[in-house]
Amino acid sequence: MKYKVLRYKKEFDPNMEFIRIEDMGAGPEVFTSDTPNLQPETATYDDLRKYMESDDYYEGLDLDWDKVELVEYELTDSGEVGADIRNKLGNYYSLVQLVELLLEEKNPDTRKTLKKLIRAEIKLGKESVEYLAELF
């Protein structure tokens, strides 16, 4: 699922930490955190700022809006990335099996067919590598 989150801009915080706004009993306070306050995907920086500046609940909030940005954040279920990687590695398992068959095959027609299948698996494998590289 995609959300929007507030974080410090890189020029103000090299770690670009997330911003959490929590009520600590005396009203809302700003903290940095590994876990962000999730905002809807439709949220915009300007609308969020206007809302927080006009809502009495956030009165006195010490947040320098020039130092923060609202960015897209993708939240994944536990195990989802692992399953995705496992599925993408299936191409390589098939590729290894096809190469093993090719090395043992003597019939030229069958070898030709196996080579076509291997080329197709190589193409899929390249796409999988590009996809996996973008995950991280």
| Boundaries of every domain in the chain | 2-74, 80-135
Tens digits of residue pLDDT in 41-93: 899 999 999 998 888 888 888 889 999 999 988 876 666 667 677 777 888 88
Q: The pTM is what?
A: 0.53
CB-neighbour burial class of residue 6 (10 A; exposed 0-12, middle 13-18, buried 19+)? buried
The CA distance from 91 to 123, in Å, is: 9
In this model, does residue 136 exceed pLDDT 70?
no
Tens digits of residue pLDDT in 7-49: 989 898 888 888 888 877 777 888 788 888 888 889 999 999 9
In this prediction, residue 79 carries a pLDDT of 62
